[in-house]
């Protein structure tokens, strides 16, 4: 979101500088009780310069004037002036020196989430169109999805979007702390396993919504000349080296959780960042991998691998799309979600017939 910054008046600069000097010398500030915070902010809202909101967010995030100025592409003196104005507006030093570093005051800490949410709300507001026409829109969507999901599902959706919506831009990022990124507004939508416990912070998903897109089963894969037969039990499987997946911001994957339920000490011999890499390792080694059935079928067309049916329980993978409540009424977001749902039903229902 682009923000225009307007210079403070001479009186504002003098008042802010005096306030900042006072805080720097005494370290004293305002009453930080909740009741006083609400009262002070409420009475000052009429004179609060909303152009400073982006500067405040940058300062709270970076906790450094130089980095905050670089983030907003302004000069350091300009950012210092905005910090002085913010100190005056909030009657709080916001950033105080601790050794060589700057740290947030308790009041500034309390502003981090509200300020971020306020900026996201404004960004959503200015981006929202009363009607959405995909044929003329230049909207950019940032999605988070695994290589597996892209390989067996998203590529078809993207092909359709580029054919009917040449102005729309799609950015796909790998799975990395999806709950955090949805809450922060860094991504618009995520397609991943619907079990939020895999990401350790399921309690932070209260503002998220989800809808199931498709399901898949897991199978074991090995090289064509591997000694294992067509069906394998857990004890036999554990006698062979394994290829496993570790994703950033996740505590595990469904296949690893299942294997650890049988053997708490399970640790893969080879670790890769995504399921689509497992067939490539398996094809040239004696390793065993566990991947989704659809991925195994696609990989077997290009690589010398075969699938084995596990005789032990492995949970079904339910891939769902997740989005934040701030996007519920956004016509463009509604269009994207509807398109994903339509393609999942068409593609995977037809594959069963």
Give the pLDDT of residue 352.
52
Helix (H, G, I), strand (E, B) or coil at 83: helix
Give the pLDDT of residue 237.
86
Q: Which two tokens stand for residue 69?
A: 């100025």
Give the pLDDT of residue 59.
92
Residue 283 pLDDT > 90? yes
Q: C-alpha angle 296/298/302, rounded to 5°?
A: 105
Q: C-alpha angle 119/121/125, rounded to 5°?
A: 115
Residue 142 pLDDT > 90? yes
Q: For the chain, list the domains and their CATH numbers.
A: 10-113 (1.10.10.10), 140-211+319-350 (3.40.190.10), 218-315 (3.40.190.10)
275 vs 247: CA distance, rounded Å? 10
Residue 278 pLDDT > 60? yes
Give the pLDDT of residue 98.
83
Residue 26 pLDDT > 50? no
User: What digits encode the pLDDT tens for the residues 65-85?
Assistant: 999 999 888 999 999 999 998
Give the pLDDT of residue 353.
45
254 vs 121: CA distance, rounded Å? 34
User: What digits encode the pLDDT tens for the residues 106-126?
Assistant: 899 988 888 888 887 777 666
Which among 11-20, 93-102, 141-150 has the top mean pLDDT? 141-150
Q: What is the DSSP string of 22-33?
A: HHHHH-------
Percent of the chain surpassing pLDDT 90:
41
Q: How confident is the model at residue 269 (pLDDT cuts 50, 70, 90)?
A: very high
Compute the average pLDDT of residues 209-227. 94
User: What digits encode the pLDDT tens for the residues 327-353?
Assistant: 888 899 999 999 999 999 988 765 554
Q: What do you get for the CA distance between the two ends of the chain, in Å?
A: 47
Burial class (CB within 10 angstroms; exposed 0-12, middle 13-18, buried 19+) of 7? exposed
Alpha helices in 128-219 (DSSP H): 147-149, 155-164, 178-184
Least confident of 26-40, 48-62, 327-341: 26-40
Compute the average pLDDT of residues 164-173. 94
Give the pLDDT of residue 204.
64
Percent of the chain surpassing pLDDT 70:
80
Give the pLDDT of residue 195.
80
Residue 24 pLDDT > 50? no
Mean pLDDT of the chain: 82
- Farthest CA pair distance, the chain: 83
Residue 34 pLDDT > 80? no
């Amino acid at each position: 979101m682009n923000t225009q910054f307007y210079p403070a008046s001479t009186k504002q600069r003098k008042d802010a500088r005096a306030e900042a000097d006072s805080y720097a010398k005494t370290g004293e500030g305002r009453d930080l009780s909740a009741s006083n915070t609400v009262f002070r902010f409420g009475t000052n809202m009429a004179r609060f310069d909303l152009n400073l909101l982006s500067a405040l967010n940058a300062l709270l995030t970076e906790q450094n004037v130089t980095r905050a100025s670089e983030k907003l592409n302004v000069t350091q003196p300009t950012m210092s002036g905005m910090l002085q104005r913010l100190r005056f507006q909030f009657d709080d030093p916001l950033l105080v020196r601790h050794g060589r570093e700057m740290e947030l005051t308790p009041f500034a800490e309390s502003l981090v989430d509200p300020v971020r949410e306020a900026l996201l709300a404004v960004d959503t507001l200015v981006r929202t169109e009363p009607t959405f026409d995909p044929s003329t829109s230049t909207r950019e969507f940032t999605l988070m999805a695994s290589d597996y999901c892209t390989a067996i599902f998203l590529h078809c959706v993207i092909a359709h979007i580029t054919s009917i919506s040449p102005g729309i831009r799609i950015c796909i990022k790998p799975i990395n702390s999806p709950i955090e990124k949805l809450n922060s507004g860094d991504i618009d939508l995520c397609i991943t396993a619907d079990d939020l416990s895999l990401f350790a912070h399921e309690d932070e998903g209260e503002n998220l919504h989800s809808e199931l897109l498709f399901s898949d089963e897991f199978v074991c894969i090995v090289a064509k000349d591997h000694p294992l037969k067509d069906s394998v039990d857990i004890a036999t499987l554990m006698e062979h080296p394994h290829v496993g997946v570790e994703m950033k911001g996740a505590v595990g994957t469904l296949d690893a959780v299942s294997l650890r339920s049988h053997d708490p000490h399970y640790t893969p011999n080879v670790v890769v960042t995504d399921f689509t890499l497992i067939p490539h390792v398996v094809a040239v080694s004696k390793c065993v991998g566990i991947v989704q059935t659809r991925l195994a079928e696609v990989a077997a067309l290009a690589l010398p691998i075969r699938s084995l049916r596990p005789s032990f329980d492995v949970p079904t993978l339910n891939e769902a799309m997740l989005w934040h409540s701030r996007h519920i009424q956004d016509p463009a977001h509604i269009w994207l979600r509807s398109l994903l749902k339509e393609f999942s039903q068409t593609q995977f229902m037809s594959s069963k017939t």
